[in-house]
Structure 1
């Protein structure tokens, strides 16, 4: 049996979903900015950065004068070796002490200055790590944003696919009532309608899941999204250029290099214990009833002091060696980080290049599948094709469109992924870092 008419879409290809910006629309750039402010990972790293800055301030305080105030009050009792008290009638005195000491460090083997520099390097490394955290959050949000747009487009395809199958079902049902279609034709199209509806439900579920994920990352609902357009001028011309820019600019590599500088300063700090500590100390005391002498006891003195640790059980040697091994650890982390950045850049470059070629082929696939579908419909209408052939052709068109849509969004994400691998994604999205992030730690 043949059906005389099938209502099908005449469009040969489908383009990605383009939403009209509304008053409540949220762009990719806005989503990334919101997510960075909302991210607990970024907040935790910022807190870590600020903590290390304060540690550096505390270490720098050792280079300033130290002022200590001492006060005490109590009773004093003195007894000689013969057992007699100095005053049998009043053998206890009310003793008071009060003193102030001012000390200034002059030299400690450069340990304090090395420690200040070490913490300055660590603060800068934490700042760069903070920027890297923001880069990774930006990439995660970009992925979810594009997947959400893709899910909306695929749901549109699924909805249209269901409508087209339902129209065919109605037409076949009408023809069956007229004796122009068989039960097998009706069963076949019924099965295809159920399959299309199942795909529609799966597309809806995927969209709901992505909206939940977007809300968790950004803190705002993922509705009225706008199709982003990346600045292709920021993309490198070759893989070698991409890798070189990544090695030169990626904050993780810079942080790893600065960690090595911090480890070197830690070695200098530990070696400071090989030298004496020299200070100037000023003392002023105002005591009363001290040493069983009734009355005031006051003194002042200015001293140049030297404290030299001649032997401490080789503890200093062990700490210096320990610091040297931490330098080796930092060097290994630096090598590993560069390898990971190179690998990530190459993978992103390959994905972008291959998807660019794949899109052209998938576009041809959509056009060819649609032409085949229209030809099958014409042949079906003259009895040269079965209903099954037409439905199979329609499935081919639907799958071809799905693959084309996915590859379009995958290619867009691959471009953003390449920018992330180079460490410039937030720059490409024109998301400015807070002023506190842009201050380099003192070194």
Structure 2
């Protein structure tokens, strides 16, 4: 698992080594995530289970040895000399066996575990998709918080400039003390907003560090490639159903359950093995001296009655197949829901951005007009301060909507299961290898 996730676009940011791009942050987070490390360990463990199941096709070789004391008595009345009744007994044996037929249980078990390994591998990719979205969300929110903080700091500076101006006018008798009190209150409010923005940024920086394992210094606003978005919602949903790793994982679980049913039905058939056995014993059964034998035989084992265990296990496997089928249905519904929600947010936020841009332009024009009118005595200070608050809120709303719109675009790709592909994240080779081609 410790093979690092590599981004194909890392070279684009080599000019600024201190900057942390979105793609690099996602790559670091995937390599840093304990959830993904745990899922990778699960995937590897099932691959080893496949190796163990394949071993049943190979010859089995067992060696047996024993040594001890033997005291022999016969009930037939035959007298055994005392020196032969008590002897040191030794046994050495070797047995080689080869499975010939077991009702295809081994074949079904290998197939079952192979599908389970593929399911775990696909869940690993799905987990990486979700980690990527978490990182994108906190990355964009951190950038947004930084921008809002800068806006808040500029708002404080502008209010302090007005305060200085009103203070000077008051000292000259051109403004009243009530104007000075009013601007003092607004300065305090702007500083309070700046403190809240600072606190929010600290929280987001902490979240980023928890996810990525690095501090969010010099983040770069991502340039989203909107050509990655399908032309309409229906295509996006269909692509998600066809390619989302969680749906594919559920389909692999269905196949694994089918193979488990095959394995359990194999108990209805006899098992055939060819066995070669050789023994070399000493002082066995009250007879001093060697006791040797060797044989090669075709053996058959047939479970006539097992108390209904085979029937119960077969039915249990069938119910697990039904469970896997419903898991796939749930995963498909989640893809449809997630894509639909993200698509609607993407479209509506785009419309909202346009309106908020108009709001920003109009609010700024109104502010400039109010300042000019205030200077000639046609507007009150309250009008100017209210206009300034309107500009601040309009800009803040636009900034928040702009980042939310970008996040909605990434959410669409996540719902489709194509987020890491869009980010050009290259997975380690071990992630791309299933049980059938490792």
TM bucket (normalised to shorter chain) is: over 0.9
Cα deviation digits, residues 41-63 of structure 1 (max 9, x gap): 11000000000000111111111
Q: Superposition pairs for residues 36-51 of structure 1, below 5 Å? A: 36-51=30-45
Q: Residue 259 in 1 paired to residue 227 in 2? A: no
Q: What per-residue deviation string (whole Å, max 9, x for no partner) do you get for residues 150-176 of structure 1?
A: 111001100000000001111111111
Identify the match of residue 393 of structure 1 among 384, 387, 398.
387
- Cα deviation for residue 83 of structure 1 reads 7.3
Task: Choose from 137, 145, 154 the match for 1:151.
Answer: 145
SS across alignment from 2:300: strand
Q: Deviations over 1:185-232 (max 9, x none)?
A: 111101100000000001111111111111111111101011111221
Q: Does 1:315 align with 2:296?
A: no
Partner residue in 1 for 2:169:
175
Specify the SS of the correspondent of 2:215.
coil
- C-alpha contact 1:419 1:428 (8 A) present in aligned 2: yes
Q: CA deviation at 1:141?
A: 0.4
CA–CA distance in 2 between the matches of 1:321 and 1:113? 20
Question: Do the aligned partners of 1:22 and 1:224 also contact (CA within 8 Å) in 2?
Answer: no
Residue 282 in 1 paired to residue 276 in 2? yes
Question: What per-residue deviation string (whole Å, max 9, x for no partner) do you get for residues 262-316 of structure 1?
Answer: 0000000111111111111100001111111111111000111111111111111
User: Could you tell me whether the CA contact under 8 Å between 1:78 and 1:85 is conserved in 2?
Assistant: no
Residue number in structure 1 paired with 2:122: 128
| Structure 2: distance between partners of 1:85 and 1:230 | 98
**Counterparts of 1:336 and 1:323, CA distance in 2:** 20
**2:8 maps to what in 1?**
none
Matched, 1:192 2:181: no
**Cα RMSD for the two superposed structures:** 1.4
Match of 2:73 in 1: 79
1:434 corresponds in structure 2 to 428
Instruction: Give me the whole-angstrom Cα distance separating, in 2, the residues matched to 1:275 and 1:84.
Output: 47
Residue 139 in structure 1 maps to residue 133 in structure 2: yes
Match of 2:7 in 1: none
Instruction: Please name the residue that 1:403 is paired with.
Output: 397
- Structure 2 gaps of 5+ residues are 1-12
Structure 2 distance, partners of 1:298, 1:99, is 9
Report 1:39-438 matches (<5 A).
39-81=33-75, 86-89=80-83, 91-438=85-432
Structure 2 CA distance, aligned partners of 1:83 and 1:304? 39
Distance (whole Å) between structure 1 residues aligned to residue 372 and residue 173 of structure 2: 21
Number of residue pairs the alignment of both structures matches = 424
With structure 2 as the length reference, what TM-score do the two structures score? 0.95
Tell me how far apart the structure 2 counterparts of residues 100 and 300 of structure 1 sit (CA, whole Å).
9
Distance 1:97 1:280 in 2: 23
Which whole-Å deviations, capped at 9, do the CAs of 1:362-415 have from their partners, x for residues lacking one?
000000001111111122122221101110010000000000001111111111
d(CA) in 2 for partners of 1:442, 1:140:
32
CA distance in structure 2 between the aligned counterparts of 1:403 and 1:296, rounded to whole angstroms: 96
Using the TM superposition, give the Cα deviation of residue 77 of structure 1 relative to its aligned residue in structure 2, in angstroms: 1.2
**Pairwise CA distance, 1:91:** 2.9
User: Over residues 224-259 of structure 1, what are the superposed CA-to-partner deviations in whole Å (9 max), with x where a residue is unaligned?
Assistant: 011111221211000111011111110001011111
Aligned-partner Cα distance in 2 for 1:82–1:247: 79
Preserved CA contact (<8 Å) 2:50 2:435: no
Corresponding residue number in structure 2 for 1:28: 22
Over residues 93-114 of structure 1, what are the superposed CA-to-partner deviations in whole Å (9 max), with x where a residue is unaligned? 1111000000111111111110
Shift of 1:180: 1.3
Instruction: Tell me the equivalent position of 2:10.
Output: none
Give deviations 1:9-60, integer Å, cap 9, x for gaps: xxxxxxxxxx9x7431111111010000000011000000000000111111
Residue 4 of structure 2 corresponds to which residue in structure 1?
none
